[in-house]
Structure 1
Amino acid sequence: MPAPTRPHARRGARFLAAPAALAAGLLLAGCGGMSLTDRMLGVVTPYKVEVVQGNVVTKEQLAAVRPGQSRAQVRDILGSPLLADIFHADRWDYVFTIRRQGAAPQQRQVIVRFEGDVLKSVDAPELPSERDFVASIDTFKTSRNAPPLALSEAQVKALPAPARAAATPAAAEQPAAELPRRYPPLEGTR
């Protein structure tokens, strides 16, 4: 004959079942990834590794590259290409990607074609200027407007006159202390 169950034991099992089910649900939800805002309970923000690959090619750099330049000149301006395929020796690919927390991910590809050792053409999307690129990856929320470091003419005139130290007659009569003329050697003597 089965052992009789106690009524208070059933209530305790039901009492523990709800928190256990809630904890299991939270654990399974954590396995599925983070929420769309990548924040848990509005408090914890996971660290994301900043991924930067390739060369940044800006509008100013692209303006300096002209057809007829040698490979060495193009390399000096744009840097070494990310992809230089031995099967396509007349093509260099400059691929750039960046994923930075707090900034929109960016990806660009610039293709440089050569005829022998001479630049033939450059295929590139609309590239940002250097200033625009830096502004797009700047994740500081504070303003970086620095105050001017020079005083205007009106500010200089408003400054108090410097206080001059009164020269005492005793200090004027004393000669300056003589500095030693002999210096120790820099290396130890043997």
Structure 2
Amino acid sequence: MSLNSQIAFIARCTAAAAGLAALGACSQMPKMDVFSVSGDKVLGLVQPYRVEIVQGNVVTKEQMEQVKTGMSRNQVREAIGSPLLTDVFHDNRWDYVFTIRRQGAAPQNRRIQLTFDGEQLTKIEAPDDLPSEKEFIAAIDTTKVKKDAPKMEMTEEERKALPPPVRQAAATPEPMGPVRDYPPLEARR
């Protein structure tokens, strides 16, 4: 057997062993379609990055409390902003739609519909479970802040319990201008 045929035989054996190892590794994978995306993971192993999608107007409970029937379109716009949708065929209806999908937070969908008669607001259709500003921020906050986070402010009692600051003696004023420890260069000769 020549040297070239021995090298070719070793290469074929190595390729066959690598193929068998790859097939053996496949038996350890979860049983699923090769291109399956189930839940948040691809192939049951990798979690891809999901783009945050925010669409529409955030309208909170505090904002909706300012809106009353009989208000003008401009007053409504100042209270809760411009509508996301204005229907060409229904000029008397404004739709405020809000959706958000963030990784690690539950998706949110809300729809508010306001109906006008001319320039005056006549009907308000809003969900009863509109969040307050604090509730909305808490719902979209995906940072997992530890409950043992350090306290950032002192109470008035804690401030009063502090010892008074120690006053230091006035320091001697520093001289103005340059200070020389050596004779000027002109004097050296």
The percentage of counterpart residues that share the same residue type is 44
- For 1:32, the equivalent position in structure 2 comes to 36
- For 2:126, the equivalent position in structure 1 comes to 124
Q: Secondary structure at the match of 1:69?
A: coil
Matched, 1:159 2:187: no
- For 2:144, the equivalent position in structure 1 comes to 141
Q: What are the superposed Cα offsets for residues 70-105 of structure 1, whole Å, 9 maximum, x if unpaired? A: 001111111111110110000000000000011000
- For 2:100, the equivalent position in structure 1 comes to 98
- For 2:63, the equivalent position in structure 1 comes to 61
Q: TM-score, normalised by structure 1?
A: 0.68
Q: What are the superposed Cα offsets for residues 117-140 of structure 1, whole Å, 9 maximum, x if unpaired? A: 100011011211111111111111
Q: State the alpha-carbon separation in 2 of the partners of residues 98 and 106 from structure 1.
A: 5
8 Å contact kept, 2:36–2:43? no
Distance 1:159-1:19 versus aligned 2 partners, 3 A rule = same
- Deviates most, 44-53 or 106-115: 44-53
Gaps of 5+ in 2: 1-8, 177-189
For 1:82, the aligned partner's letter is L
Provide the aligned C-alpha RMSD in A.
3.6
8 Å contact kept, 2:35–2:43? no
Q: State the alpha-carbon separation in 1 of the partners of residues 109 and 157 from structure 2.
A: 49
For 2:136, the aligned partner's letter is F
- For 2:78, the equivalent position in structure 1 comes to 76
- For 2:187, the equivalent position in structure 1 comes to none
Gaps of 5+ in 1: 1-5, 178-190
- Deviates most, 121-130 or 140-149: 140-149
- For 1:183, the equivalent position in structure 2 comes to none
Q: State the alpha-carbon separation in 2 of the partners of residues 155 and 83 from structure 1.
A: 52
Across the two proteins, how many residue pairs are aligned to each other? 161
For 2:140, the aligned partner's letter is I
Displacement of 1:41: 6.3
For 2:22, the aligned partner's letter is P
